[in-house]
Chains A and B, each alone.
Chain A
Amino acid sequence: MEGVQLSLISKERLEKMASMEKLRMILDSVKEGKIVVLESGLTPEEEAKLIEMTMLEIDHENFVGIEVESYPYKEGFFSKLFGKKKGRLTVIGPANRLKTLEKKEDLITALVKIGD
């Protein structure tokens, strides 16, 4: 069956992973053409690091970057006090396969391209 592989990664699994381990796993999966859905998302710092790593791996032939979409960070009392923000549901895919059609505070609509 032809199609696009989706990896849905649970919050529990993400919490057990170190930041670099998480980012490496995401980028390796996306470079293989997979779409990764993270239940608990990334922190803003992790997202910036992911962009940096993506830029280093763009080869201008097969991999031109990523498409990332997530809901905005939620700010609670402790995150305001300590500045630590937790990410929310995040979808990441190869830029040539995943295209965001619409993004609102509580709704993300995306298109996944199958095949070349």
Chain B
Amino acid sequence: MRSYAAPYEDVWGPRRGRIVAAALALVFVVIVGRAAFVSFNGPDRSAVPVAKAEVARRADIVDRKGELLATTITGKSLAVDPSAVWESRDVVAAIRSVFPELGEDALTAMMADRKRQFVWVKRGLSDEQATALKNTGVEGLLFVEEPQRVYPNGRLAGHFLGYTGVDGEGLEGVERVFDAKLKLGGSALKLSLDASVQFVLEEELDRAFADFDMKGAAGIVVDANTGEVRAIASWPTMDPRQRGDQSDEAKTNRALNSRMELGSIYKPLTVAAALEAGVLQPTDRFDVSKPIKIGAVTVKDAHPLEHASSVSVTDILAYSSNIGSSEIAQRMGPQTQRIFLGRVGLLTGLKQDGPQWASPLIPARWDQTAMATVAYGHGISVSPMAFAMTYLPFANGGEYVTPTFVEPLDPETVKRTRVMSAQTAASVLGMLRTTVTTGSGKNADAKGYEVAGKTGTAEKPGPNGYDADRNITSFAAIFPASRPQYVVLVVLDEAQPRTGVNRTAAFTSATIAGKVIARAAPLLDVRPVLDVAATKSVVDAQ
């Protein structure tokens, strides 16, 4: 039998203590380790609940002064839950009471499949439409909140801004060209446009329609020194809110995407090219009393000039002599003319990122015939935007500058090319000022703004040759002539005065250009020139 009398010897006592201490230490290490793990490797909760908010909101588009042109707000869209619809006829009737343009059959078909729970009906509702639909009280309608692109200024710069699709992708204009940048969100895309000047230009083109029955129009205002486009308009205007649901006439951006024969506004280019080639002196005189045959074409003047047997170069521009222009072109020859027009950007598309203009239509063979007609703006079709840029050298001392549509101005992307001497530029500018003070451009002379410019009336080509009853009338202007700051181009397509019969540029586009300049100049901080001596010095420079 085992004896229990022996004194108890607790051999486990010290060990137990150590075991407990070790266990506690282990637990301690585990807890501290876990605490550290939780602290440094816990789930990143910040990303989870706000995941939807992280989807970039499409960036705004503003003008150079920060005026909002396009923005994204949270709007409502209409969907329907067919599984919740009891009587589809009531629902269809309710929807059509607000959107009568939606077809009854299409709406009924949407609700035919009762297993479906979501079908889009209409994206981008106005508040009034949403309220009206809610007030119908029918079942199954779903109002979904989603981003909606809006254009607070309505039609203003509609062609240039373009529009987005219902899912926010850029489809036309700036919205398409800068789609990737806009999708990133962040700060607004700042355009070089000035909304106030844009408004003036569009309003004057709109008013032109009151005076002239016209098919279309385009207008451009460009900073003569930097190439920044301050306004670019096409009439009829386009409403970006309708997302392209308009006629082709309204959707066409005539300023950028149409090609036109612009007529006599080419004559200053002919004169500049000849001066640069050294084959013409400003003091030379020409006999324009008789039509001349050059190549296969006989060049005539629609209105014979006074003292036509001896007219100055200034007279050829001021009174728009086709004969004189062709004679000047004949002195330099076709190749010199072609090279010069290429240097001012008329023979190619725009080779830079951003909005593009239509590629030109140029003579297949640049021979004597082509040379003679191109000298006065026929036989070559370019976009108004491309042409407007050709007048910048006259205004800035001889440099061709590529157009800029966004700010801030990036000196890396702006290309400046000297295309004529400062003397040639000043000489032609003086002739253009005389054209406005005493010649065909009188109606453009906005008081105080020393407008210099040239009229152009071109017959439109038709199936049977040029049609004398359909004209493109244009006016290219520079102001103020004594310290040029801006170039303006106004082009009217088939402008027919509603009263009277004179449909030449002197009475149509020149008048509109003058009105645009008178209203836009104060908005562009151009101080009027009230000093007669300043104007005289410009004319004397020719």
Pair from one complex? no
